[in-house]
Amino acid sequence: MHMRLKTLGAAVAASLVLTAGAVAPARPAQASIVNWFEVIITAVSTLAANSGGGGNDAQLEAAKQQIIHAVESSKQEILAHIDAIAAADVEACTQSAVTKFAQIDSMPGSLLGPFVNGAVDCAHLSSSYFNTVQSLPAADNIGKLMGVIYAIAMTGFAKYGLSTRSLLGNLITGYEAVAVKMKPTRCGMQDALQDNEVRPRPGDPMYWIVWCEAYNGDLANTTYNTIFPASPTEADFDAVRLQAGRNTSYATAVHALPALRAA
């Protein structure tokens, strides 16, 4: 279990003192990312449930159109993330897929086949790159785009009448990797009232400040009241990690996985 901290970094401690019991002031969650991401995850789940024959064609078509609209309406934001990708091959294939995706319904067979194959290869390439890259900012860009890349590939499979289950499984595996690599690890806790030099006694009230900082500098904290020797749990830390990682792909993955696993 996490040990009580005797001291905190000056910047972190000052922020926590000023904001005890609330999320520390930092950049709010990026609403536009959240909006298209939620649409895509819902539509991807519908694709998985209805593709491959025997599904509901109307729901399949609606899901496809939702994905197309979500990608198109946020294309500039998506392309900005693509421009930040360090790997040239991943950047090129992702940019090609996103740029051409809106024309998927009007593509002749001679173009549709290569487009779909390219999108599927790009999805696999993005997962592979994420697993090998060491830079957290570079990994974060891929993590934020992973759902879009797989959604495009799954839409292509569904248009051919093919099952998207294998791609869904790969997306789940990819997001599981994101949730591990991008998880905020700079976390700690501090008793807000007790003198750290005095050992608390059983039955003493404890007011813990639990804090985490994501790799990008976003900070979150909250307070938990316990009776010693009880202390904040790992689940308590996870809730604060999610707030700290609200502008990273960690939050994207954590929010997506339950819906994708249930699809």
CA angle 249, 262, 144 (to 5 degrees): 15
Lookup: tokens for 27: 């950049």
Distance CA 134, CA 126 (A): 14
Distance CA 187, CA 9 (A): 11
Query: For 143-175, how does the pLDDT look when each residue is reduced to its tens digit (9 = 90+)?
Result: 999 999 999 999 999 888 888 999 999 999 999
Helix axes 136-159, 88-100, angle to 10 degrees: 40
What residue spans define the domains of the chain?
A: 10-26+184-244, 31-182
Question: 3-state DSSP call for residue 187?
Answer: strand
pTM: 0.82
**Other C-beta atoms within 10 Å of 74: how many?**
21
Give 104 or 36, the one with higher predicted confidence: 104
Lookup: tokens for 167: 């791609």
Query: For 229-256, how does the pLDDT look when each residue is reduced to its tens digit (9 = 90+)?
Result: 999 999 999 999 999 999 999 999 999 9
Average pLDDT estimate for 217-232: 94
Query: For 36-88, how does the pLDDT look when each residue is reduced to its tens digit (9 = 90+)?
Result: 677 788 888 888 877 765 556 788 888 888 888 888 888 888 888 888 887 88
Nearest 10 degrees: CA dihedral of 255, 256, 261, 263?
A: 120
H helices then E strands: how many in the chain? 10, 3
Least confident piece of the model among 6-20, 55-69, 119-133, 172-186: 6-20
What are the backbone angles phi and psi of residue 52, rounded to the nearest 5°?
85, 10
